[in-house]
A and B are shown apart, each in its own frame.
Chain A
Amino acid sequence: MPLELRVKKKPRLLVVLLVVQFLLISLQVPIGAKVSLLNRIIFSVLSPVQHGLASAVGGVRGLWIQYAYLRHVQRQNQALHRELFVLREENEFLRNWLRELKSEKDIRVATARWRDDLETASVIGLDATNIHRSAVIDRGTVHGVRKDMTVLDRNGCLIGRVYGTVAGREAHIQLITDSECGVSVLAGSPPAVVILKGLGDGTCELKYLLDSGPTLAAGDRILTSGLDGLYPPGIQVGTVINVKRDGTLFQKVRVKPFFDIAGFGQVAILKRPARDYFPGGGR
Protein backbone atom coordinates (compact mmCIF):
# COMPACT_ATOMS: atom_id res chain seq x y z
CA MET A 1 0.00 0.00 0.00
CA PRO A 2 1.42 3.46 -0.88
CA LEU A 3 2.66 5.39 2.13
CA GLU A 4 0.31 8.36 1.57
CA LEU A 5 -2.79 6.15 1.79
CA ARG A 6 -1.60 4.55 4.98
CA VAL A 7 -0.95 7.95 6.52
CA LYS A 8 -4.44 9.17 5.54
CA LYS A 9 -6.15 6.11 7.01
CA LYS A 10 -4.96 6.73 10.57
CA PRO A 11 -6.78 10.05 11.16
CA ARG A 12 -9.87 8.43 9.64
CA LEU A 13 -9.60 5.57 12.10
CA LEU A 14 -9.36 8.06 14.96
CA VAL A 15 -12.45 9.91 13.71
CA VAL A 16 -14.40 6.62 13.39
CA LEU A 17 -13.43 5.52 16.92
CA LEU A 18 -14.39 8.90 18.39
CA VAL A 19 -17.71 9.03 16.50
CA VAL A 20 -18.58 5.50 17.70
CA GLN A 21 -17.95 6.52 21.31
CA PHE A 22 -19.85 9.81 21.00
CA LEU A 23 -22.79 7.82 19.60
CA LEU A 24 -22.45 5.41 22.51
CA ILE A 25 -22.63 8.30 24.96
CA SER A 26 -25.65 9.81 23.24
CA LEU A 27 -27.44 6.44 23.41
CA GLN A 28 -27.15 6.57 27.20
CA VAL A 29 -29.09 9.84 27.48
CA PRO A 30 -30.79 10.49 29.88
CA ILE A 31 -27.75 9.59 32.00
CA GLY A 32 -28.49 6.87 34.53
CA ALA A 33 -31.82 5.88 32.99
CA LYS A 34 -30.54 2.47 31.92
CA VAL A 35 -27.29 0.60 31.51
CA SER A 36 -26.25 0.12 27.87
CA LEU A 37 -26.06 -3.34 26.31
CA LEU A 38 -22.33 -2.94 25.59
CA ASN A 39 -21.74 -2.04 29.24
CA ARG A 40 -23.58 -5.21 30.31
CA ILE A 41 -21.58 -7.32 27.84
CA ILE A 42 -18.18 -5.97 28.98
CA PHE A 43 -19.20 -6.33 32.63
CA SER A 44 -20.52 -9.89 32.13
CA VAL A 45 -17.38 -10.98 30.26
CA LEU A 46 -14.81 -9.45 32.62
CA SER A 47 -16.52 -9.66 36.02
CA PRO A 48 -15.94 -13.47 36.26
CA VAL A 49 -12.23 -12.72 35.68
CA GLN A 50 -12.36 -10.24 38.55
CA HIS A 51 -14.27 -12.78 40.64
CA GLY A 52 -11.60 -15.38 39.89
CA LEU A 53 -8.73 -13.05 40.73
CA ALA A 54 -10.38 -11.96 43.97
CA SER A 55 -10.98 -15.61 44.87
CA ALA A 56 -7.34 -16.42 44.03
CA VAL A 57 -6.11 -13.66 46.34
CA GLY A 58 -8.51 -14.89 49.04
CA GLY A 59 -7.39 -18.44 48.31
CA VAL A 60 -3.69 -17.64 48.76
CA ARG A 61 -4.48 -15.86 52.00
CA GLY A 62 -6.72 -18.72 53.08
CA LEU A 63 -4.07 -21.32 52.22
CA TRP A 64 -1.56 -19.69 54.49
CA ILE A 65 -4.01 -19.28 57.31
CA GLN A 66 -5.64 -22.70 56.97
CA TYR A 67 -2.61 -24.92 56.61
CA ALA A 68 0.09 -23.05 58.41
CA TYR A 69 -2.05 -22.02 61.32
CA LEU A 70 -4.48 -24.17 63.33
CA ARG A 71 -6.71 -25.47 60.56
CA HIS A 72 -9.79 -26.55 62.50
CA VAL A 73 -9.82 -23.55 64.81
CA GLN A 74 -9.76 -21.27 61.77
CA ARG A 75 -12.71 -23.03 60.17
CA GLN A 76 -14.70 -22.76 63.36
CA ASN A 77 -13.70 -19.14 63.66
CA GLN A 78 -14.92 -18.41 60.14
CA ALA A 79 -18.31 -19.99 60.90
CA LEU A 80 -18.57 -17.92 64.07
CA HIS A 81 -17.58 -14.76 62.20
CA ARG A 82 -20.33 -15.40 59.70
CA GLU A 83 -22.81 -16.04 62.48
CA LEU A 84 -21.69 -12.89 64.28
CA PHE A 85 -22.02 -10.88 61.08
CA VAL A 86 -25.61 -12.01 60.52
CA LEU A 87 -26.50 -11.48 64.18
CA ARG A 88 -25.04 -7.97 64.18
CA GLU A 89 -27.08 -7.07 61.12
CA GLU A 90 -30.17 -8.63 62.70
CA ASN A 91 -29.58 -6.89 66.00
CA GLU A 92 -29.02 -3.46 64.45
CA PHE A 93 -32.04 -3.74 62.24
CA LEU A 94 -34.34 -5.07 64.91
CA ARG A 95 -33.27 -2.34 67.33
CA ASN A 96 -34.43 0.20 64.79
CA TRP A 97 -37.60 -1.76 64.23
CA LEU A 98 -38.41 -1.97 67.92
CA ARG A 99 -38.47 1.81 68.08
CA GLU A 100 -41.18 1.81 65.44
CA LEU A 101 -43.14 -1.41 65.92
CA LYS A 102 -46.08 -1.64 68.21
CA SER A 103 -47.30 -5.23 68.33
CA GLU A 104 -45.41 -8.32 69.44
CA LYS A 105 -46.81 -10.23 66.46
CA ASP A 106 -45.06 -7.85 64.06
CA ILE A 107 -41.74 -8.45 65.81
CA ARG A 108 -42.14 -12.25 65.68
CA VAL A 109 -42.95 -12.22 61.96
CA ALA A 110 -40.04 -9.87 61.25
CA THR A 111 -37.58 -12.04 63.21
CA ALA A 112 -38.68 -15.24 61.51
CA ARG A 113 -38.32 -13.83 58.01
CA TRP A 114 -35.18 -11.82 58.60
CA ARG A 115 -32.59 -14.43 57.65
CA ASP A 116 -34.27 -15.25 54.35
CA ASP A 117 -34.06 -11.60 53.37
CA LEU A 118 -30.34 -11.27 53.97
CA GLU A 119 -27.67 -12.24 51.45
CA THR A 120 -24.02 -11.94 52.44
CA ALA A 121 -21.48 -11.02 49.77
CA SER A 122 -17.83 -10.06 49.38
CA VAL A 123 -16.51 -6.97 47.63
CA ILE A 124 -14.29 -8.11 44.74
CA GLY A 125 -13.52 -4.81 43.02
CA LEU A 126 -13.70 -1.04 43.35
CA ASP A 127 -14.61 1.67 40.84
CA ALA A 128 -11.98 2.02 38.09
CA THR A 129 -12.11 5.83 37.98
CA ASN A 130 -12.94 6.85 41.56
CA ILE A 131 -13.04 4.29 44.39
CA HIS A 132 -15.62 6.35 46.29
CA ARG A 133 -18.26 5.89 43.59
CA SER A 134 -18.97 2.16 43.21
CA ALA A 135 -17.83 -1.40 43.91
CA VAL A 136 -18.38 -4.89 42.52
CA ILE A 137 -19.71 -7.72 44.73
CA ASP A 138 -19.63 -11.49 44.19
CA ARG A 139 -23.39 -12.02 44.19
CA GLY A 140 -25.68 -11.63 41.17
CA THR A 141 -29.01 -12.66 39.70
CA VAL A 142 -28.30 -16.33 40.52
CA HIS A 143 -28.38 -15.41 44.21
CA GLY A 144 -31.53 -13.33 43.87
CA VAL A 145 -29.76 -9.96 43.74
CA ARG A 146 -31.71 -7.32 41.84
CA LYS A 147 -31.42 -3.62 41.04
CA ASP A 148 -32.00 -1.12 43.90
CA MET A 149 -31.49 -3.61 46.76
CA THR A 150 -29.95 -2.02 49.87
CA VAL A 151 -26.34 -2.90 50.77
CA LEU A 152 -25.07 -2.71 54.37
CA ASP A 153 -21.63 -3.16 55.91
CA ARG A 154 -20.65 -5.67 58.61
CA ASN A 155 -22.09 -3.41 61.33
CA GLY A 156 -25.43 -2.87 59.63
CA CYS A 157 -24.55 0.64 58.40
CA LEU A 158 -25.56 1.87 54.96
CA ILE A 159 -23.09 1.42 52.07
CA GLY A 160 -25.35 1.99 49.06
CA ARG A 161 -27.55 0.10 46.65
CA VAL A 162 -27.30 -2.37 43.79
CA TYR A 163 -27.59 -0.53 40.50
CA GLY A 164 -28.02 -1.38 36.82
CA THR A 165 -25.22 -3.80 35.96
CA VAL A 166 -26.09 -7.15 37.51
CA ALA A 167 -24.47 -10.25 36.01
CA GLY A 168 -25.16 -13.88 36.93
CA ARG A 169 -22.71 -14.03 39.80
CA GLU A 170 -21.57 -10.42 40.17
CA ALA A 171 -23.28 -7.06 40.68
CA HIS A 172 -22.29 -3.41 40.71
CA ILE A 173 -23.18 -1.32 43.78
CA GLN A 174 -23.37 2.46 43.98
CA LEU A 175 -21.82 3.87 47.17
CA ILE A 176 -23.51 6.68 49.11
CA THR A 177 -20.28 8.69 48.72
CA ASP A 178 -20.85 8.89 44.94
CA SER A 179 -21.66 12.45 43.89
CA GLU A 180 -24.58 11.08 41.82
CA CYS A 181 -26.12 9.44 44.89
CA GLY A 182 -28.80 10.92 47.14
CA VAL A 183 -30.36 9.40 50.27
CA SER A 184 -33.30 10.70 52.28
CA VAL A 185 -32.12 10.95 55.90
CA LEU A 186 -33.21 12.21 59.31
CA ALA A 187 -30.95 14.75 60.98
CA GLY A 188 -31.07 16.67 64.24
CA SER A 189 -33.56 16.88 67.06
CA PRO A 190 -36.46 17.25 66.39
CA PRO A 191 -35.51 15.29 63.25
CA ALA A 192 -35.71 17.04 59.90
CA VAL A 193 -35.91 15.12 56.63
CA VAL A 194 -33.00 16.16 54.39
CA ILE A 195 -31.05 14.79 51.44
CA LEU A 196 -27.63 13.28 51.96
CA LYS A 197 -25.47 13.69 48.87
CA GLY A 198 -22.08 12.11 48.20
CA LEU A 199 -19.10 14.35 47.48
CA GLY A 200 -16.96 11.77 45.67
CA ASP A 201 -14.11 12.04 48.20
CA GLY A 202 -15.31 9.57 50.83
CA THR A 203 -17.60 12.05 52.61
CA CYS A 204 -21.16 13.35 52.10
CA GLU A 205 -23.07 16.57 52.73
CA LEU A 206 -26.59 17.35 53.87
CA LYS A 207 -28.50 19.32 51.27
CA TYR A 208 -31.30 21.78 51.89
CA LEU A 209 -31.16 21.80 55.70
CA LEU A 210 -32.59 25.24 56.47
CA ASP A 211 -30.57 27.62 58.62
CA SER A 212 -33.68 27.93 60.82
CA GLY A 213 -33.89 24.11 61.07
CA PRO A 214 -32.51 21.83 63.81
CA THR A 215 -29.06 22.61 65.16
CA LEU A 216 -26.49 19.92 64.42
CA ALA A 217 -23.12 19.36 66.05
CA ALA A 218 -20.09 17.23 65.25
CA GLY A 219 -20.71 13.64 66.30
CA ASP A 220 -24.48 13.65 65.68
CA ARG A 221 -25.71 10.47 64.03
CA ILE A 222 -27.60 10.42 60.75
CA LEU A 223 -30.25 7.74 60.00
CA THR A 224 -32.17 6.90 56.83
CA SER A 225 -35.75 8.17 56.75
CA GLY A 226 -37.06 5.64 54.22
CA LEU A 227 -38.97 8.37 52.42
CA ASP A 228 -36.97 7.97 49.20
CA GLY A 229 -38.48 4.51 48.75
CA LEU A 230 -35.02 3.07 48.12
CA TYR A 231 -33.59 2.48 51.59
CA PRO A 232 -35.48 1.14 54.63
CA PRO A 233 -35.90 3.61 57.51
CA GLY A 234 -33.69 3.63 60.59
CA ILE A 235 -30.39 2.47 59.05
CA GLN A 236 -27.30 4.22 60.42
CA VAL A 237 -25.56 6.26 57.74
CA GLY A 238 -22.80 8.33 59.36
CA THR A 239 -21.82 11.07 61.78
CA VAL A 240 -21.68 14.82 61.36
CA ILE A 241 -18.07 16.02 61.17
CA ASN A 242 -18.49 19.70 60.38
CA VAL A 243 -21.30 22.30 60.48
CA LYS A 244 -21.08 25.74 58.90
CA ARG A 245 -23.64 28.51 59.18
CA ASP A 246 -22.62 31.38 56.93
CA GLY A 247 -25.81 33.38 56.96
CA THR A 248 -27.20 31.81 53.78
CA LEU A 249 -30.54 29.99 53.53
CA PHE A 250 -29.08 26.53 54.18
CA GLN A 251 -26.61 25.06 56.69
CA LYS A 252 -23.50 23.39 55.27
CA VAL A 253 -23.18 20.04 57.03
CA ARG A 254 -20.50 17.49 56.20
CA VAL A 255 -21.05 13.84 57.09
CA LYS A 256 -18.57 10.95 57.38
CA PRO A 257 -20.21 7.62 56.53
CA PHE A 258 -19.73 4.74 58.99
CA PHE A 259 -18.44 2.29 56.38
CA ASP A 260 -14.73 2.19 55.65
CA ILE A 261 -13.62 1.61 52.07
CA ALA A 262 -10.23 0.22 53.13
CA GLY A 263 -11.90 -2.32 55.40
CA PHE A 264 -14.42 -3.48 52.80
CA GLY A 265 -14.82 -7.23 53.03
CA GLN A 266 -18.15 -8.77 53.71
CA VAL A 267 -21.36 -6.87 53.02
CA ALA A 268 -25.06 -7.69 53.43
CA ILE A 269 -27.76 -7.23 50.81
CA LEU A 270 -31.37 -6.69 51.88
CA LYS A 271 -33.38 -8.63 49.33
CA ARG A 272 -36.77 -7.09 50.10
CA PRO A 273 -37.90 -3.74 48.73
CA ALA A 274 -37.62 -0.79 51.13
CA ARG A 275 -41.40 -0.40 51.53
CA ASP A 276 -41.58 -3.84 53.20
CA TYR A 277 -39.48 -2.56 56.09
CA PHE A 278 -41.95 0.12 57.13
CA PRO A 279 -44.04 -0.86 60.16
CA GLY A 280 -47.15 -2.53 58.82
CA GLY A 281 -45.73 -2.35 55.29
CA GLY A 282 -46.20 -6.03 54.44
CA ARG A 283 -43.96 -7.73 57.00
Chain B
Amino acid sequence: MTTRDIARALLGILFGFAVYTLAGRIAPAGLLVFNVFLLVVLHFAMTGGEAAGAVMGMACGLVQDAFSRSVLGSSGIALTLVGYLAGSFSQKFDVTPLRRLFLFLFTAAAADLAAWMVLSSLIYGHRADTAGGLLFLQPLNTALGGCLVFNFIRRRRERRAQA
Protein backbone atom coordinates (compact mmCIF):
# COMPACT_ATOMS: atom_id res chain seq x y z
CA MET B 1 0.00 0.00 0.00
CA THR B 2 1.46 3.34 -1.06
CA THR B 3 0.90 6.87 0.21
CA ARG B 4 -1.07 7.48 -2.97
CA ASP B 5 -3.44 4.60 -2.13
CA ILE B 6 -4.02 5.99 1.36
CA ALA B 7 -4.64 9.48 -0.04
CA ARG B 8 -7.09 8.02 -2.58
CA ALA B 9 -8.90 6.11 0.18
CA LEU B 10 -9.17 9.25 2.36
CA LEU B 11 -10.42 11.26 -0.60
CA GLY B 12 -12.99 8.55 -1.30
CA ILE B 13 -14.28 8.69 2.28
CA LEU B 14 -14.37 12.50 2.18
CA PHE B 15 -16.23 12.41 -1.13
CA GLY B 16 -18.83 10.00 0.29
CA PHE B 17 -19.17 12.14 3.40
CA ALA B 18 -19.58 15.34 1.36
CA VAL B 19 -22.30 13.80 -0.83
CA TYR B 20 -24.10 12.51 2.28
CA THR B 21 -23.96 15.98 3.92
CA LEU B 22 -25.13 17.85 0.81
CA ALA B 23 -27.92 15.34 0.15
CA GLY B 24 -29.09 15.84 3.75
CA ARG B 25 -29.34 19.59 3.11
CA ILE B 26 -31.02 19.35 -0.28
CA ALA B 27 -33.17 16.19 -0.20
CA PRO B 28 -33.27 14.50 3.24
CA ALA B 29 -35.38 11.55 2.04
CA GLY B 30 -32.64 10.78 -0.49
CA LEU B 31 -30.44 9.58 2.37
CA LEU B 32 -32.91 6.78 3.05
CA VAL B 33 -33.18 5.50 -0.51
CA PHE B 34 -29.58 5.92 -1.65
CA ASN B 35 -26.38 4.69 0.04
CA VAL B 36 -23.42 6.73 -1.17
CA PHE B 37 -20.97 5.11 1.28
CA LEU B 38 -21.71 1.70 -0.26
CA LEU B 39 -20.87 3.05 -3.73
CA VAL B 40 -17.50 4.32 -2.45
CA VAL B 41 -16.76 0.88 -0.96
CA LEU B 42 -17.81 -0.92 -4.16
CA HIS B 43 -15.68 1.38 -6.30
CA PHE B 44 -12.59 0.54 -4.23
CA ALA B 45 -13.50 -3.16 -4.14
CA MET B 46 -13.82 -3.29 -7.93
CA THR B 47 -10.58 -1.44 -8.56
CA GLY B 48 -8.45 -2.73 -5.66
CA GLY B 49 -9.79 -6.19 -4.84
CA GLU B 50 -11.07 -7.79 -1.63
CA ALA B 51 -8.50 -6.27 0.77
CA ALA B 52 -9.21 -2.71 -0.43
CA GLY B 53 -12.95 -3.42 -0.32
CA ALA B 54 -12.81 -4.77 3.23
CA VAL B 55 -10.67 -1.90 4.60
CA MET B 56 -12.77 0.76 2.88
CA GLY B 57 -15.90 -1.04 4.08
CA MET B 58 -14.73 -0.79 7.67
CA ALA B 59 -13.68 2.88 7.34
CA CYS B 60 -16.88 4.03 5.58
CA GLY B 61 -19.05 1.93 7.90
CA LEU B 62 -17.50 3.48 11.00
CA VAL B 63 -18.04 6.99 9.59
CA GLN B 64 -21.65 6.09 8.82
CA ASP B 65 -22.10 4.78 12.37
CA ALA B 66 -20.46 7.84 13.97
CA PHE B 67 -22.98 10.08 12.20
CA SER B 68 -26.01 8.02 13.13
CA ARG B 69 -27.63 6.66 16.29
CA SER B 70 -26.38 3.15 15.44
CA VAL B 71 -23.88 1.28 17.55
CA LEU B 72 -20.36 1.92 16.24
CA GLY B 73 -19.47 -1.16 14.19
CA SER B 74 -22.91 -2.29 12.97
CA SER B 75 -22.73 -0.64 9.54
CA GLY B 76 -18.98 -1.27 9.63
CA ILE B 77 -19.34 -5.06 9.77
CA ALA B 78 -21.97 -5.10 7.01
CA LEU B 79 -19.88 -2.92 4.69
CA THR B 80 -16.66 -4.86 5.49
CA LEU B 81 -18.29 -8.14 4.47
CA VAL B 82 -19.86 -6.66 1.34
CA GLY B 83 -16.61 -4.89 0.38
CA TYR B 84 -14.62 -8.10 0.74
CA LEU B 85 -17.09 -10.27 -1.20
CA ALA B 86 -17.59 -7.64 -3.91
CA GLY B 87 -13.82 -7.32 -4.32
CA SER B 88 -13.38 -11.06 -4.55
CA PHE B 89 -16.24 -11.43 -7.08
CA SER B 90 -15.19 -8.54 -9.31
CA GLN B 91 -11.63 -9.90 -9.52
CA LYS B 92 -12.92 -13.23 -10.84
CA PHE B 93 -15.73 -12.06 -13.12
CA ASP B 94 -16.08 -9.17 -15.52
CA VAL B 95 -18.78 -6.87 -14.12
CA THR B 96 -18.29 -3.95 -16.52
CA PRO B 97 -21.19 -4.66 -19.00
CA LEU B 98 -24.13 -2.51 -17.92
CA ARG B 99 -26.63 -5.29 -17.19
CA ARG B 100 -24.09 -7.31 -15.21
CA LEU B 101 -22.96 -4.18 -13.38
CA PHE B 102 -26.56 -3.42 -12.35
CA LEU B 103 -27.07 -6.97 -11.07
CA PHE B 104 -23.75 -6.87 -9.22
CA LEU B 105 -24.52 -3.51 -7.55
CA PHE B 106 -28.10 -4.50 -6.72
CA THR B 107 -26.97 -7.77 -5.10
CA ALA B 108 -24.24 -5.99 -3.14
CA ALA B 109 -26.67 -3.28 -1.93
CA ALA B 110 -29.29 -5.87 -0.97
CA ALA B 111 -26.64 -7.93 0.88
CA ASP B 112 -25.45 -4.83 2.75
CA LEU B 113 -29.00 -3.92 3.77
CA ALA B 114 -29.76 -7.49 4.85
CA ALA B 115 -26.52 -7.78 6.87
CA TRP B 116 -27.15 -4.40 8.55
CA MET B 117 -30.74 -5.34 9.40
CA VAL B 118 -29.73 -8.69 10.89
CA LEU B 119 -26.95 -7.09 12.95
CA SER B 120 -29.21 -4.25 14.14
CA SER B 121 -31.89 -6.75 15.18
CA LEU B 122 -29.32 -8.80 17.09
CA ILE B 123 -27.83 -5.74 18.82
CA TYR B 124 -31.08 -3.96 19.75
CA GLY B 125 -33.24 -7.04 20.22
CA HIS B 126 -36.02 -5.76 17.97
CA ARG B 127 -36.69 -5.34 14.26
CA ALA B 128 -34.46 -2.75 12.57
CA ASP B 129 -36.04 0.61 11.61
CA THR B 130 -36.87 0.68 7.93
CA ALA B 131 -38.45 4.16 7.92
CA GLY B 132 -41.84 2.76 6.96
CA GLY B 133 -40.33 0.49 4.28
CA LEU B 134 -38.49 3.31 2.45
CA LEU B 135 -35.16 1.65 3.23
CA PHE B 136 -36.12 -1.29 0.99
CA LEU B 137 -35.84 1.03 -2.01
CA GLN B 138 -32.15 1.50 -1.25
CA PRO B 139 -30.74 -1.47 -3.28
CA LEU B 140 -32.59 -0.44 -6.46
CA ASN B 141 -31.70 3.25 -6.26
CA THR B 142 -28.10 2.61 -5.23
CA ALA B 143 -27.68 0.14 -8.12
CA LEU B 144 -29.17 2.59 -10.64
CA GLY B 145 -27.07 5.48 -9.34
CA GLY B 146 -23.98 3.25 -9.24
CA CYS B 147 -24.50 2.17 -12.87
CA LEU B 148 -24.57 5.82 -13.96
CA VAL B 149 -21.52 6.83 -11.93
CA PHE B 150 -19.35 3.76 -12.67
CA ASN B 151 -20.22 3.86 -16.36
CA PHE B 152 -19.28 7.53 -16.49
CA ILE B 153 -15.93 6.80 -14.78
CA ARG B 154 -15.22 3.87 -17.14
CA ARG B 155 -15.98 5.90 -20.27
CA ARG B 156 -13.80 8.76 -19.07
CA ARG B 157 -10.94 6.35 -18.47
CA GLU B 158 -11.39 4.80 -21.91
CA ARG B 159 -11.40 8.25 -23.55
CA ARG B 160 -8.24 9.18 -21.67
CA ALA B 161 -6.56 5.93 -22.70
CA GLN B 162 -7.47 6.56 -26.33
CA ALA B 163 -6.15 10.12 -26.16
- A residues contacting B by CB (< 8 A) are 9-10, 13-14, 17-18, 20-22, 24-25, 28, 31, 36, 38-39, 42-43, 46, 49-50, 53-54, 57, 124-134, 136, 163, 165, 174, 178-180, 199-202, 261-262, 264
Contact = CB atoms under 8 A, between A and B. Distances in A.
Interface size class of B (residues with CB under 8 A): 35 or more
B80 A18 contact: yes
Contacts of B84: 10, 14
A131 B28 contact: yes
A200 B51 CA distance: 34
A136 B55 CA distance: 26
Interface of B: 14, 17-18, 20-22, 24-26, 28-29, 31-32, 37, 49-51, 54-55, 57-58, 61-77, 80-81, 84, 88, 116, 123-124, 126, 129-132, 134-135
A9 B61 CA distance: 22
Given A25-B74, A42-B62, A201-B129, A49 B24 contact: no
Given A24-B72, A38-B72, A54-B21, A179 B58 contact: no
A252 to B, nearest CB: 16
Nearest to A164: B69
A25 B72 contact: yes
Contact of B124 (A9, A31, A42): A31
Nearest to B49: A10
A175 to B, nearest CB: 9
B58 A17 contact: yes
A57 B21 CA distance: 10
A39 B14 contact: no
A42 B73 CA distance: 12
